[in-house]
Chain A
Amino acid sequence: MVEAFAVASGKGGTGKTTSTLALGMALAADHDVTVIDADTGMANLLFHAGLDDVEVTLHDLLVEETGTRVDEAVYDRFGMSVVPCGTSLAAFEAADPGRLRDVVADLAADTDVVLLDSPAALGSKSAVLPVVLADRVVVVLQPTIPSLSDGLKVQEYAQSYGTETAGVLFNKVHDDERIDRVADQAERYFGGETLTTVPDSDVVRAARRAGEPLLAHAPDSVAAASYREAAAAIDVRDGDEDDVAARFRSAVVPETP
């Protein structure tokens, strides 16, 4: 069984990467989880997962004829398989984003849950590709007008490409009373339920500085508990891995820009 989720936000700064790794660790309690940094132009998952000194990354898999095997870019960390992406601009330019589908197809054959940390943008083919490939999207929102309106846009893009909404997650929440009203209002427009609301807290920033996912750095924090609640609210579906892999391989992917 396998299901692929794109963790997306439309707008940067919502804590998407923190959320991807936190959801990944929480889901890893019951599932085999593979987290892929699909934000190939603005990669930062490696910093959050203490992988900033590794040699082989997704970039090597996206460049033709490097001869890199997929498993060379997979790192077992924090109970998950993590595929970081490098930060070199030259590597980004040489990378063929279309090859992402083959990489994801390979990885999907051997895991229960694929989480794609997706670019915070909708302006290019490579930015939208993870949302096209995924079965469902988790939309990470901040309780602000630009974040909500961008989140709505991401959802419309996803729906246009046949990708459903698994749920929305409100991050960096300051005001507990108000967020319940906002979440109720937002649920009318988003396809999935509100998975959780995560308070803004210093512990999240400390985890990032330490290069550790939140659930490893501060497992007993309120924010960590919120992410476990979100993971519990996601009912992972039993996609047939051959079907999923075939879908990724056959997905119509644009030429390199």
Chain B
Amino acid sequence: MRLPEGDLVRSRVVSDPGAALSAALDRRLTGYAVFRPQDTLLLGGDRRAVLTFEGGVPVLAYDGATDRGGAEALGDLAVPGPYKVELYELSSDALSDAHDTPELRVSPEMPAEELAADSELAERTRVLAPDDREEQSQNDKSALEAFLDDEEKIAAIREQAREEAEQRAEEWGFDDALDR
């Protein structure tokens, strides 16, 4: 997928992707967001995914590293850690070619629900979505399923949590519990 370059309007490191989705919705962004997970270890290197918006409502997602689109692209990219998110404005016309790629599209509320786990944001997005977007959400594949499919990434998340738990056990004086 190729997009013309837009105008950068916001660049933040966020612990929760919902903050970026909410910012895009609040400013009724027409353009795209670039998500870059900061924990490059979990994904084995630098990764980014693009999510486009029309009037603040998500339209399509694409992960260049896996060459997958739609909900699966967001699942491929999802990690527990912080993300750097840049929002770019781009005209509707410039987005229209890309938006004419059904296999990359996501339902309006899916990123808020599955990536951010924010049902209130999902509802606000649904309210703002044009009526003709609704049918599409019936056929969506799940970002969560794509996330759970990636055994290597899940193993890395578990390994990281285990190391953290053991390190903290020492800090917190739980050492004996480790040998229980």
CB within 8 Å of B: which residues of A? 11, 13, 125, 128, 132, 142-150, 152-153, 155-157, 159-162, 172, 178, 181-182, 185-186, 188-189, 247, 251-255
Contacts and interface: CB of A to CB of B under 8 A. Distances in A.
Contacts of A152: 154, 157-158, 161
B178 A150 contact: no
Contact of B162 (A156, A186, A253): A156
22 contacts: A11-B117, A125-B172, A125-B174, A128-B174, A144-B113, A145-B78, A145-B115, A145-B143, A146-B115, A147-B117, A149-B157, A152-B161, A153-B80, A153-B164, A160-B178, A162-B178, A178-B145, A185-B145, A188-B148, A252-B175, A254-B172, A255-B173
Nearest to B173: A254
Contacts of B178: 160-162
A-B pairs with the 9 shortest C-beta distances? A144-B117, A156-B161, A162-B180, A160-B165, A185-B148, A252-B176, A153-B161, A157-B165, A254-B173
Contacts of B75: 145
Contact of A160 (B78, B145, B166): B166
B144 A148 contact: yes
A42 to B, nearest CB: 18
Given A161-B177, A178-B145, 19 more contacts: A125-B174, A132-B174, A142-B117, A143-B114, A144-B113, A145-B75, A145-B143, A146-B117, A148-B148, A149-B78, A149-B147, A152-B161, A153-B80, A160-B166, A161-B174, A161-B178, A162-B180, A188-B151, A254-B173
- Decide if the interface of chain B is mainly helix, strand, loop or mixed: helix
Interface in B119-151: 119, 142-145, 147-149, 151
Interface string B98-126: 00000000000000011111010000000
Interface in B59-112: 75, 78-80
A162 B154 CA distance: 21
Nearest to B80: A149
B144 A145 contact: yes
A219 to B, nearest CB: 26
A16 B151 CA distance: 27
B23 to A, nearest CB: 18
B169 interface: yes
A252 B161 contact: no
A149 B156 CA distance: 11
A137 B78 CA distance: 25
B131 to A, nearest CB: 20
Nearest to A11: B117
A92 to B, nearest CB: 18
A189 B144 contact: no
- Tell me which of A144, A186, A251 has the highest count of chain B C-beta atoms within 10 A of its own C-beta: A144
Nearest to A154: B161
Nearest to A172: B119
B168 interface: yes
Nearest to A174: B113
Contacts of A153: 80, 157, 161, 164
A13 B116 CA distance: 12
B158 A145 contact: no
B169 A144 contact: no
Contacts of A161: 165, 169, 174, 177-178, 180
- Tell me which of B79, B144, B158, B169 has the highest count of chain A C-beta atoms within 10 A of its own C-beta: B144
B65 to A, nearest CB: 17
A201 B16 CA distance: 26
B166 A185 contact: no
